[in-house]
Structure 1
Amino acid sequence: MRNSVPRNLLIIDDETVLCWVLGRFFSSAGYSVDSATDLAEALERVTHGRYDLVISDLRLSGTQSEEGLIIAERLRAAAPATRMVLMTAFATPELGQRARELGVDLVLSKPQSLPALAEHVSQLLSPAETR
């Protein structure tokens, strides 16, 4: 039985259209959704907000930087129980290892279909006994 209390998601991506699409998709599924499009806004939200799960892109500035890992580190310090999904078109085994060391629950390749992403989110937010 699904909990009737909305789950709080944070979507972080520098592509505002993607934030909007994901926000609409998850809102229509009953989630409460916030978004951030740059590192400063994302860090502010993960430090002061309360989220059940954060979905973040690895690279926010269009450069070779890895802001998603900075966000993961801040999230673990501010809210250790919050689940985190890192999405990137640049996934490597080494990145996956570094992300896991920072507490990222799942690294997914971009693009990711909405139904597949929704299934991952549902699994991460399900009670431990049903996983």
Structure 2
Amino acid sequence: MSHSFWSELISIIPETMWVAFATLAFLTLRKPIIRRFLDRPRESMETTVGGGGGKGEIRRWDHAAESLRGGRILWVDDNPPGNSELIKLFRSAGMTVDTAPSTEDALAYVEQGGYDIILSDIKRNGDPQAGIKMLRELELHKIPTPVVIYAMSFNPELGVDRRIFGGTNDPRDVVHYVIDLMERARMSLG
């Protein structure tokens, strides 16, 4: 074998090694990369409620993905940044989430288009009963949209208004209520 043969062979080894390395890297990392892009809603669920959430909650989120897609939430709260993680979570599932800082704004939104769920706090703009007053306005305007109360000061032991589907101060419960309501809405359509 000639010296030129060995020189040429040695010169193509680095190129061949890079191709082999790239192929190995692709084969090794393709599933995690695909999961990274396809499982964004699931990943959001894990980071948003994962602090105390378990595998059952994540499985439920995965199972509910089709029911959530296209759903519409109106979130009534005078402090929307406090709900930003849950809002991102629901949007990552393909839901529309509009925010309203007051009952008046909420009623204007509801008149413009239908919502599947209204999420609300109780205390707004200095009024400790704003959320409850909103329930009376919804009844007055014959708006049947289910309401979920999410407020840090919510205490179900004090009683739950007949107009409230559910109330909580735990973000995991909010996720479950939204899934429950969206599954019911989808079942009633199908």
How many angstroms apart in 2 are the aligned matches of 1:108 and 1:48? 28
Residues 1:31 and 2:108 aligned together: no
Stretches (4+) displaced over 4 A: none
Spell out the pairing of 1:1-131 with structure 2 (5 A cutoff): 2-3=66-67, 6-61=70-125, 63-76=126-139, 77-80=141-144, 82-92=145-155, 93-96=157-160, 99-100=161-162, 103-109=163-169, 112-113=170-171, 115-127=172-184
How many angstroms apart in 2 are the aligned matches of 1:4 and 1:19? 18
- Which protein has the bigger strand share? 1
Contact 1:12–1:19 (CA under 8 A) maintained in structure 2: no
Q: Which has the higher contact order (CA 8 A, sep 6+)?
A: 1
How many angstroms apart in 2 are the aligned matches of 1:125 and 1:38? 24
Q: TM-score, normalised by structure 1?
A: 0.75
Specify the structure having the higher radius of gyration (Cα): 2
Structure 2 unmatched runs, 5+:
1-62
Structure 1 unmatched runs, 5+:
none
Aligned length: 121
Quote the offset at 1:107 in angstroms.
1.4
Contact 1:46–1:78 (CA under 8 A) maintained in structure 2: no
Among all aligned residue pairs of Structure 1 and Structure 2, give the percentage whose two residues are the same amino acid.
Answer: 23
Quote the offset at 1:28 in angstroms.
0.4
Quote the offset at 1:68 in angstroms.
0.8
How many angstroms apart in 1 are the aligned matches of 2:178 and 2:112? 22
